[in-house]
Chains A and B, each alone.
Chain A
Amino acid sequence: MDFLDRFKDKTTCAKLLAKLEQELRAPFRFMEVCGTHTVAIFRSGLRSLLPENLIHLSGPGCPVCVTHEREVAGFFELAQRKRVVLATFGDLLRIPGPKAQTLKDLQAQGAKIKVVYSPLDSLEIAKDNPHLEVVFLGVGFETTAPTIAASLQLAKAQGIKNFSVFCLHKLVPPALKVLLEDKHVQIDGFLLPGHVSVIIGLKPYEFLSRYNLPAVVGGFEPLDIVQALLTLVSLKSAQVVNCYPRAVKPEGNVKALKIMQEVFEVGPSLWRGIGLIPQSGLKLKDEWAEFDAQIRFNLTELPEVEEIKGCKCGEVLRGILRPKECPLFAKACTPEHPVGPCMVSSEGSCAAYYKYEL
């Protein structure tokens, strides 16, 4: 049996689900803050098996969804410059930007956009096209930041001058703090993101106890998730429990953290639906400024944009509304014609509801 198959065993899962049902005495609202959890819960069919009074909310855990409209307008502007090749992860291609266009539309109009699986692939594109400027679109959380830092170090070591990063990285813990300060947000516990926690460890979540909120770090296989949820609802006090010890160490990934610290510094960042959160983003340090696409292409001031009318992605991201409660859901806003980003990314909660819910 494959190692991971052990975490998909349906008999064990059924037992744990029964136990979960027993433990739940009152309705419990849990929020996951990781797009991979959103998709895993839906795709595995787990969502249809969870006890009725365990209420699943998807928080700001999809990197595409939390990318602010002004940031989107910024990289759209960059994509249209003549000598620029925009290298990006594929899920950004359909995000609606100014004039309801997408990067796919810009590509059809002649913009040079390349889908890559790793920032290191975009370095290769830069090497192959010395007459062009390759910009990697750095959208993501703590999970993707280390490989981007590594590719920048490699670019510097190899003297690659036509490569830069549009650095829009965001940090998860400050966003959780903002949610807990918001009186509209009602959460009884967090299912913390497994991959992010692999990098940052447990310490950055310590502040949660001040809000008297239990939290668990969970993996992504069905049994990981059910086990984490069972632990979460059984916790008698506010604490952070690591239910994913096979991947997450309390101190995180020291090597990855070190490489991030060498390249990035923490600064304010714009979040869609939330706004400016201090100390919630990663910017390139001064000594890496030459690789900063915003400096290189004079985009430090992001374009102003109009608010998308009627879009409730902000409320959805904060767990105030569930996707089906948005008046645009499955009517004006569908994966074919997404109004807001939560419907675009495969990890967006609206897209997941649309795609998987019967």
Chain B
Amino acid sequence: MDRLLLDCGSGGKASHRLIQELFLKYLGNSYLNTLNDAALLAEIKTPLAMSTDTYTVDPLIFPGGDIGSLAVHGTVNDVAMLGARPKFLSCAFILEEGLQMSLLEQIVRSMGEAVKRCGVYIVTGDTKVVPKGVVDKIFINTTGIGEILRQPAPSGSRAKPGDVIIISGSIGDHGLTILSKQKGLSFEAEVQSDSAPLHNVIEELVVNLPEVHVLRDPTRGGLATTLNEIANQSKVECYLEEERLPIKEPVKQGCNFLGLDPLYLANEGKFILILPKDHQDQALKILKKHPESRESVVIGEIRDGHKGKVVLKTELGGKRLLDMLEGEQLPRIC
């Protein structure tokens, strides 16, 4: 069989073959292999962090990753942002009839590699096959749970005046990569997605630092949107300095060319850390130890002034508002 048939989602023998020969082959573990209606999670400490996300990225495979690894990293990161250690994932596929089996296998294999890298288990799953045209090839939903490492957990509402804002590396890489590969755009950039798991460095930060106020990964909507959310939730001003923002040259140039703003481009392997200035040096020391956050820098601070807003000090020295994006800047990037 080189193409997926509707039968494979029927619940009958064809479904079972798909589960055995593909999903269990790459994703199997003692939880999933029982094939019960639900997974029994005996060893887990409360309180828990839980997060869900659905992945619809187009194209499915892109420089630096694919929808499979993205669906693992993305949810692992969301769980980690609560200062938690991700443990278990669920995974649901919605597949289009006629999908090439080799493509599906490539993606499931990539997911399998990603869960191993992250040290998490996919413990329950679901597969639906829908008629051609109902979805675009593969959509994946993953839900993750993890153990909260410390209380109170970091939250978008805990930023306080006097805190510093740190970003764990360059921004806009994922968004620009996807855009440059999307059909219909005759444009290529020498850049790749930053899709990566962040939970290891997060764990070290949360466990070792006296205080962590906010952890957020600036995915869709980018750095500007996430900081606006934080400013709103915490009722503070986020003050950013443009000349400190780490943006790679090809991303800058690609954005210039396409009229996009890297501050609004999605990231899939970066996080924002907000904490009291006193702990800044200790945080940077930890961040720089881990390859995924080696290029961490302080990009601004939390102030009392324009509450609920993000203020940007431009390279020129002027000040302006950095507003939230109105709608999509790009279609289907994650």
Interface residues of A (CB under 8 A from B): 2, 8, 10, 13-14, 42-49, 94, 104, 114, 116-118, 120-121, 124-125, 222, 335-336, 354-358
Contact = CB atoms under 8 A, between A and B. Distances in A.
B313 A118 contact: no
Contact of A43 (B306, B313, B320): B320
Given A45-B312, A117-B185, A356 B317 contact: no
Contacts of A14: 317
Contacts of B208: none
Contact of A358 (B184, B186, B249, B306): B306
A45 B326 contact: no
Nearest to A121: B184
B190 interface: no
A47 B317 CA distance: 11
B320 A49 contact: no
B184 A356 contact: no
B321 interface: yes
A43 to B, nearest CB: 7
Q: How large is the interface on B (under 10, 10 to 19, 20 to 34, 35 or more residues)?
A: 20 to 34
B207 interface: no
Nearest to B187: A117
B41 interface: no
A289 to B, nearest CB: 28
A120 B185 CA distance: 10
B25 interface: no
Contacts of B317: 10, 13-14, 45, 49
30 contacts: A8-B316, A10-B316, A13-B316, A14-B317, A42-B320, A44-B314, A44-B318, A45-B312, A45-B316, A45-B318, A45-B319, A46-B318, A47-B320, A48-B318, A48-B320, A49-B318, A94-B327, A114-B184, A117-B185, A117-B186, A121-B184, A125-B184, A222-B316, A335-B326, A354-B323, A356-B320, A356-B321, A357-B320, A357-B321, A358-B311
A2 B184 CA distance: 29
A10 B311 CA distance: 19
A46 B315 CA distance: 10
Contacts, number: 68
A355 B312 CA distance: 12
B38 interface: no
B321 A355 contact: yes
A14 B317 CA distance: 9
B258 A117 contact: yes
A356 B326 CA distance: 13
B318 A355 contact: no
Contacts of B311: 358
B181 to A, nearest CB: 14
A13 to B, nearest CB: 6
Contacts of B320: 42-43, 45, 47-48, 356-358
Contacts of A10: 315-317
Contacts of A356: 320-321, 323
Q: Which of A45, A47, A118, A336 has the most CB of B within 10 A?
A: A45
B316 A46 contact: yes
A94 B313 CA distance: 29
Given A94-B326, A117-B258, A356-B323, A8 B186 contact: no
B238 to A, nearest CB: 13
Contacts of A13: 316-317
Contacts of B318: 44-49
Contacts of B306: 358
A350 to B, nearest CB: 13
A124 B184 contact: yes
List the 9 closest A-B pairs by CB distance, nearest first. Answer: A45-B318, A45-B314, A48-B318, A356-B320, A335-B326, A49-B318, A355-B323, A45-B320, A45-B316
Contacts of B187: 117
Interface string B274-311: 00000000000000000000000000000000100101
A124 B319 CA distance: 43
Point out which of B309, B311, B316, B323 has the most chain A C-beta atoms below 10 A from its C-beta: B316
Contacts of A46: 316, 318
A224 to B, nearest CB: 12
Contacts of B326: 94, 335-336
Contacts of A8: 315-316
Contacts of B319: 45, 48, 358
A222 B323 CA distance: 21
Given A14-B317, A117-B187, A121-B184, 9 more contacts: A42-B320, A43-B314, A45-B315, A45-B316, A48-B320, A104-B327, A117-B186, A124-B184, A358-B320
